[in-house]
Amino acid sequence: MRVSQMLIPTLRETPAEAEVVSHQLMVRAGFIRKAAAGVYTFLPLAWRVVRKIEQIVREEMNRMGGQEIMMPIIQPAELWQESGRWDVYGPELFRLKDRHGRDFCLGPTHEEIITDLVRGEVSSYKQLPLLLYQMQNKYRDERRPRFGLMRGREFIMKDLYSFDRDEEGLDVSYKKMYEAYNNIFRRCGLVFRPVEADSGAIGGNDTHEFMVLAESGEATVVYCPAEPCGYAANVERAVSPPELPAVQESPGPLQEVVTPGQKTVEQVTKGLGIGPERIIKTILYQTEKGMAAALVRGDREVNEIKLQKVLDVLRLEIAGPEAVEGLTGAAVGFAGPVGLKDIPIVADQEVEAMSNAVCGANKTGAHLMGVNPGRDFQWQKCADIRLVKRGCACPNCGSPMEEARGIEVGQVFKLGTKYSKVLGADYLDEKGESHPIVMGCYGVGVTRTMAAAIEQNHDKDGILWPVSIAPFHVVVIPVSNKDSRQVETAERIYGELVEAGVEAVIDDRNERPGVKFKDADLVGYPLRITVGKSLAEGKVELRHRRDGEVVMLLETEVVKRVREIISASL
Amino acid sequence: MRVSQMLIPTLRETPAEAEVVSHQLMVRAGFIRKAAAGVYTFLPLAWRVVRKIEQIVREEMNRMGGQEIMMPIIQPAELWQESGRWDVYGPELFRLKDRHGRDFCLGPTHEEIITDLVRGEVSSYKQLPLLLYQMQNKYRDERRPRFGLMRGREFIMKDLYSFDRDEEGLDVSYKKMYEAYNNIFRRCGLVFRPVEADSGAIGGNDTHEFMVLAESGEATVVYCPAEPCGYAANVERAVSPPELPAVQESPGPLQEVVTPGQKTVEQVTKGLGIGPERIIKTILYQTEKGMAAALVRGDREVNEIKLQKVLDVLRLEIAGPEAVEGLTGAAVGFAGPVGLKDIPIVADQEVEAMSNAVCGANKTGAHLMGVNPGRDFQWQKCADIRLVKRGCACPNCGSPMEEARGIEVGQVFKLGTKYSKVLGADYLDEKGESHPIVMGCYGVGVTRTMAAAIEQNHDKDGILWPVSIAPFHVVVIPVSNKDSRQVETAERIYGELVEAGVEAVIDDRNERPGVKFKDADLVGYPLRITVGKSLAEGKVELRHRRDGEVVMLLETEVVKRVREIISASL
């Protein structure tokens, strides 16, 4: 392709509304344009990247026996009512009516549609296992769409659904997809990590997220650096063995101490001259079932995802000052479990093991010392409700764990029989007995993967595309459009590259070389061939975008070299 | 692929709701399943066909310099309000609101979105011409979706938009697309014809439709069989020179005759013993501007598309009996232009040239004879408002024309400056002067092309896929699953085919051969290799689906033969 004829509207200025690098660079490099909040047009370069990612995904899905289909984007409400999600899904579901007043939604996911399909077409164990997938626009009416393609309202996903006769079959399908996802993100040239994840609202059992590691990631990953352990989990889900006291102290007397203005753990540790691991932190929450208290050690944070599950509530918010005062009779910062009545108390496992601890006295400006769980207060539940962080012990091998930021680009998920039971997708086994089909679902955010690739691969000048998903592999730049020998040589090299199947463009615009170089860096072609003054010695420049390495090559050899580099990178 | 592992849910019965062959066969052969009225899931075989058609379209668009992009499906109402189409488009436009109450629609077409994009990114003549296209789901909320993929509510289209500096540039882009469309449908293996078409509601000037010829087509095409004339037009648009009387009769006296019960042209010709070409047929219409009368010769029909343009009305319906009686004082069948007052009369060109004609007397049971247009009645407009039919003279060469039925699968369209003017998409020329960009739009119904291919290529047993768009090229069938030599040979041939890049499936199901043969015919694999008893002589059967031709080949030669046949067909 000739840059003079391509729609690559690069910008020198960073668009004001773009908060993250991938959004900024995709707009600046002429990849995307906004059509509405969270809704984008993909320009030619971006669409090439999307199609490359899609093709990698397709090949890996097919390799695992996946069959590609295409389900509708507009889905009838009846199926969502049947599954019970029509009322639950909330305002993120785009809803519409047809001319006859019938309700539809724009699919955010396709469990209902595919389970309906399979209940109609699959009746025998002979038809299982079955892996069906599609790549398609998905819709989520985000309250605040932002970060460009990272959190859009219209985005492209690959979703595969597996159908098996039992849990063992699901395990096999799940492992296939887990392997396929590793292949996909590896082939996309990304540094990533599969991590244990929380199953959230889709429901189900095992689940892993695939995280592209990048500083700008919204998710926190905790992982074990020890080889070959490799434990890694989303912090929402991460576990670590409770730290128990080495020596069990004998219980001392419970006594109240005055702690004026000491509302935080830090203030109390300072004021009383004790370590934070001796403090019982009491956090009061509002839920749809009323208030609840969570107890963790003073040097811990509450993992609200874990707490939510323990409490079995949909809504969990930290209680406001009024509610806290109403319940405890004290200002925020002085709550404690001793004497706390009428609300459920959940104690973390580490709290259960504490002795002679300190906690709020439910009296403003006072704490209790010598608090002994079980003796001085009771709890409804003892559970793991603490947030794992850097330095916590690995649950597998005990090594201290590390933290990283990640962008979730894929998730694999054991659904079990959640949808097949409610929608009646059954099969008959060899004996003619009926069983619900066991399902899994597996998503890759295709457009999000493109954005994550940029978050992970960029520098101050622009994008550093991995070769496998670069919009083009190489740009050829004649330095002077007035030097006919430069132009002819550039054209000849470009022609030979295209002939050899290399994805090449030639920047034949009547622009200064500086403009062409800047645009080439911004767009992020992995290789740049510059045809300039060295042509006098028969040489051209080959530059690697990623490390800036430059080599001078005979113009007759550059095509061969480019082909070698590209084959080696794919 | 192995049929035992594929989702190809064939049915023996024709589904009751499927009215047309393509719908019946796509359901029976396991290609599609309905998710809602006019909304379908594409199963693996159908999706392969769609992707093949898409790839052919893509290659031909790229060859003409088209750049592939992807625009949103959900479009903000603001742009449609700006173009004026938000209020005009009517109930066929799926509309929805986001969580903030903002209006959106699901794109039936993308003139607004792309003109908005181009007005933002194109400012100079240097950036023109520009050809941008996408392949995407489109939405049209049909009042009565039917005929499967022929008239769905969610369907896949390729839409390309051209941007040029002037009409000459548009001519070039239009010709490129015209040529590309010929290439596309030829490569899809279809018998088709580009025809002049009516521009309808999109507005614009020149337009051609590409019609796949098939008895079941909803459109009528009129064409000149003479070589090299090649005139062809949608009957909505077709013209033919008026047939004028050879001799001009001298006007006779106007007289009323009694014609009891003679309401139709046929009855009047019989009753009065005259040819239908002597009758002036008067049709009364209701429009949003009131009633109107159209006059055509007795052996002609009114072309309501032409009439609508002449009257410049949006709504045109034949007037009901009450309105007719209210206006003429006579029952339906006895209206005539003589003495008809207060409504516009449009006379066809052939009517103007008539003399001593017969028409209704505006009195029940009576007609007028000796009617002479101009003398006995006047008209507001004289125009070509007749429907061309088989036998009419070709407007180019005068040969009698033929009729055919067609399915519209593509349309090319000169939009001119309709959208660029209203949305302000301008460019600056060499002198710095501003001009509106001149646009064209060009659509291919991808899923409709699949359906049309079946309408044109099927027999009583199933589909006859053209090789280039067949879901697979060849099916290998071992006759007996218990004969290990048959099974091994079939597997080996299948393996060699796959190895050789042939798109092959093996029907390894534990089914009777008759079931496999029936399914193979239904699905429509162009070639079938049967491994049966002849294997004793080292031979297998190669059968062509289209003509049923069977050849026995050495098992060692069949793969080579299949490769030859496929290369020759692509």
Residue pLDDT, tens place only, A33-75? 999 999 999 999 999 999 999 999 999 999 999 999 999 999 9
**DSSP helix/strand/coil, A200:** helix
Please tell me the predicted confidence (pLDDT) of residue A273. Answer: 92
CA A42 to chain centre: 22
| Distance between A66 CA and the closest CA of chain B, angstroms | 9
Please tell me the predicted confidence (pLDDT) of residue B205. Answer: 63
Q: Digits of tens for pLDDT over chain B (570 positions)? A: 999 999 999 999 988 889 899 999 999 999 999 999 999 999 999 999 999 999 999 999 999 999 999 999 999 999 999 999 999 888 999 999 999 999 999 999 999 999 999 999 999 999 999 999 999 999 999 998 989 999 999 999 999 999 999 999 999 999 999 999 999 999 999 999 999 997 765 455 689 999 999 998 999 999 999 988 989 999 999 999 999 988 888 999 999 999 999 999 999 999 999 999 999 999 999 999 999 999 999 999 999 999 999 999 989 999 999 999 999 999 999 999 999 988 999 999 999 999 999 999 999 999 999 999 999 999 999 999 999 999 999 999 999 999 999 999 999 999 999 999 999 999 999 999 999 999 999 999 999 999 999 999 999 999 999 999 999 999 999 999 999 999 999 999 999 999 999 999 999 999 999 999 999 999 999 999 999 999 999 999 999 999 999 999 999 999 999 999 999 988
Q: How far apart, in whole angstroms, are the C-alpha atoms of residue B449 and residue B188?
A: 9
**0.95 surpassed by pTM:** no
Sign of CA dihedral B385, B390, B391, B393: positive
Q: Which residues touch B537 (CB under 8 Å, ≥6 apart)?
A: none
Nearest to B181 by CA among B404, B407, B409: B409
Confidence band of A205 (pLDDT split at 50, 70, 90): low
Nearest to B413 by CA among B206, B233, B166, B219: B206
Rounded to an integer, the average pLDDT of A117-138 is: 97
Rounded to an integer, the average pLDDT of A219-246 is: 93
- Residue A326 class from Cβ within 10 Å (0-12 exposed, 13-18 middle, 19+ buried)? exposed
Q: What is the largest CA-CA distance in chain B?
A: 94
Do B104 and A71 make contact, defined as CB atoms within 8 angstroms? Answer: no
Please tell me the predicted confidence (pLDDT) of residue B136. Answer: 97
Please tell me the predicted confidence (pLDDT) of residue A558. Answer: 97
Sign of CA dihedral A40, A44, A45, A49: positive
Q: How far apart, in whole angstroms, are the C-alpha atoms of residue B470 and residue B463?
A: 10
Q: Which residue in this structure is represented by tokens 């649950």? A: A395
Do B33 and A104 make contact, defined as CB atoms within 8 angstroms? Answer: no
Please give the radius of gyration of chain B, using alpha carbons only, rounded to the nearest integer.
29
Residue B9: closest CA among chain A residues belongs to which residue? A121
Do A40 and B72 make contact, defined as CB atoms within 8 angstroms? Answer: yes
CA A415 to chain centre: 19
Nearest to B427 by CA among B418, B415, B436: B436
Q: How far apart, in whole angstroms, are the C-alpha atoms of residue A460 and residue A522?
A: 9
Spell out the SS3 assignment of A131-152: EEEEEEEEECCCCCCECHHHEC
Nearest to B441 by CA among B147, B107, B51: B107
B10-to-A129, B15, B556 alpha-carbon distances in Å: 18, 11, 32
Do B39 and A74 make contact, defined as CB atoms within 8 angstroms? Answer: yes
Residue B521: CB atoms within 10 Å = 21
| Distance between B70 CA and the closest CA of chain A, angstroms | 5
Q: How far apart, in whole angstroms, are the C-alpha atoms of residue B317 and residue B321?
A: 12
- Chain B residues with CB inside 8 Å of A35's CB? 71-72, 75-76, 113, 116-117
Do B116 and A71 make contact, defined as CB atoms within 8 angstroms? Answer: no
Asked if residues A468 and A187 have their Cβ atoms less than 8 Å apart, the reply is: yes
Please tell me the predicted confidence (pLDDT) of residue A564. Answer: 96
Over residues A411-422, the pLDDT tens digits come to: 999 999 999 999
Q: Which residue in this structure is represented by tokens 């393996």? A: B495
Please tell me the predicted confidence (pLDDT) of residue A90. Answer: 87
Do A7 and B132 make contact, defined as CB atoms within 8 angstroms? Answer: yes
Nearest to B455 by CA among B234, B197, B148: B148
Sign of CA dihedral A547, A553, A559, A561: negative
Average pLDDT, chain A: 95
- Chain A residues with CB inside 8 Å of B47's CB? 68-70
Domains in chain B (CATH in brackets) are: 14-206+412-454 (3.30.930.10), 255-383 (3.90.960.10), 472-569 (3.40.50.800)
Q: Which residue in this structure is represented by tokens 């006769």? A: A165
Please tell me the predicted confidence (pLDDT) of residue B204. Answer: 53
Do B42 and A69 make contact, defined as CB atoms within 8 angstroms? Answer: yes
Please tell me the predicted confidence (pLDDT) of residue A308. Answer: 94
Rounded to an integer, the average pLDDT of A355-368 is: 95
Sign of CA dihedral B161, B165, B167, B169: negative
Asked if residues A307 and A378 have their Cβ atoms less than 8 Å apart, the reply is: no
Q: How far apart, in whole angstroms, are the C-alpha atoms of residue A449 and residue B28?
A: 38
Q: Which of A195-209, A273-287, B227-241, B356-370 has the lowest mean pLDDT?
A: A195-209
Examine the pLDDT at A92 and tell me if it is beyond 90.
yes
**DSSP helix/strand/coil, A450:** helix
Rounded to an integer, the average pLDDT of A292-306 is: 96
Q: How far apart, in whole angstroms, are the C-alpha atoms of residue B94 and residue B124?
A: 36
Among partner residues A9, A50, A94, which is closest to B96 by beta-carbon distance?
Answer: A94
Query: Residue B251: phi, psi to the nearest 5?
Result: -60, 130
B24-to-B18, B142, B454, B467 alpha-carbon distances in Å: 5, 20, 10, 21
Examine the pLDDT at A201 and tell me if it is beyond 80.
no
Q: How far apart, in whole angstroms, are the C-alpha atoms of residue B204 and residue A289?
A: 63
Q: How far apart, in whole angstroms, are the C-alpha atoms of residue A195 and residue A238?
A: 9
* Polymer length in residues for chain A: 570
Q: How far apart, in whole angstroms, are the C-alpha atoms of residue B90 and residue B87?
A: 7
Q: How far apart, in whole angstroms, are the C-alpha atoms of residue A75 and residue A106?
A: 6
A507-to-A242, A470, A538, B67, B98 alpha-carbon distances in Å: 61, 17, 20, 16, 42
* Polymer length in residues for chain B: 570
Is the peptide bond between A242 and the residue preceding it cis, with omega within 30 degrees of 0?
no
Do B33 and A91 make contact, defined as CB atoms within 8 angstroms? Answer: no
Residue A273: CB atoms within 10 Å = 7
Residue A257: CB atoms within 10 Å = 16
Helices marked H in B274-412:
304-311, 321-328, 349-352
Please tell me the predicted confidence (pLDDT) of residue A487. Answer: 97
Spell out the SS3 assignment of A83-119: HCHHHHCHHHCCEEECCCCCEEEECCCCHHHHHHHHH
Q: Which residues touch A432 (CB under 8 Å, ≥6 apart)?
A: none
Residue A4: closest CA among chain B residues belongs to which residue? B127
**Residue of B43, B142, B511 to mutate, interface with A, max A Cβ within 10 Å:** B43
Residue A42: closest CA among chain B residues belongs to which residue? B70
Asked if the ipTM is above 0.95, the reply is no
Asked if residues B376 and B254 have their Cβ atoms less than 8 Å apart, the reply is: yes
What are B417-422's contacts with CB under 8 Å, separation 24+? B418/B203, B418/B204, B419/B83, B419/B111, B419/B112, B419/B115, B420/B115, B420/B119, B422/B82, B422/B83, B422/B84
Do A36 and B104 make contact, defined as CB atoms within 8 angstroms? Answer: yes
> Residue A508 gets which letter from DSSP?
-
**Residue of B79, B99, B427 to mutate, interface with A, max A Cβ within 10 Å:** B99
Do A35 and B71 make contact, defined as CB atoms within 8 angstroms? Answer: yes
Helix, strand counts (H, E) of chain B: 15, 31
Examine the pLDDT at A314 and tell me if it is beyond 90.
no
| Distance between B12 CA and the closest CA of chain A, angstroms | 14
Asked if residues A7 and A119 have their Cβ atoms less than 8 Å apart, the reply is: no
Residue A342, sorted as left (phi over 0), alpha (psi -120 to 50) or beta, turns out to be left
Q: Which residue in this structure is represented by tokens 């082939």? A: A187
Helices marked H in B280-367:
304-311, 321-328, 349-352
Do B69 and A43 make contact, defined as CB atoms within 8 angstroms? Answer: yes
- Chain B residues with CB inside 8 Å of A119's CB? none
CA B255 to chain centre: 47
CA atoms within 13 A on the CB side of B61: 26
Tokens describing residue B233: 């037009």
- Chain A residues with CB inside 8 Å of B98's CB? 94, 141, 153
A570-to-A56, A160, A187, A501, B436 alpha-carbon distances in Å: 11, 25, 7, 14, 45
Please tell me the predicted confidence (pLDDT) of residue A200. Answer: 61
**Residue of A98, A159, A160 to mutate, interface with B, max B Cβ within 10 Å:** A98
- Chain B residues with CB inside 8 Å of A91's CB? 99
Q: Which residues touch B336 (CB under 8 Å, ≥6 apart)?
A: B280, B282, B328, B359, B360, B361, B362, B367, B368, B371
> Residue A434 gets which letter from DSSP?
E
Is the peptide bond between A228 and the residue preceding it cis, with omega within 30 degrees of 0?
yes
| Distance between A387 CA and the closest CA of chain B, angstroms | 33
Residue A330: CB atoms within 10 Å = 18
Q: Kindly list the strands in the beta sheet with B255-258, ordered across the sheet, starting from the edge strand earlier in the chain.
A: B255-258, B366-371, B357-360
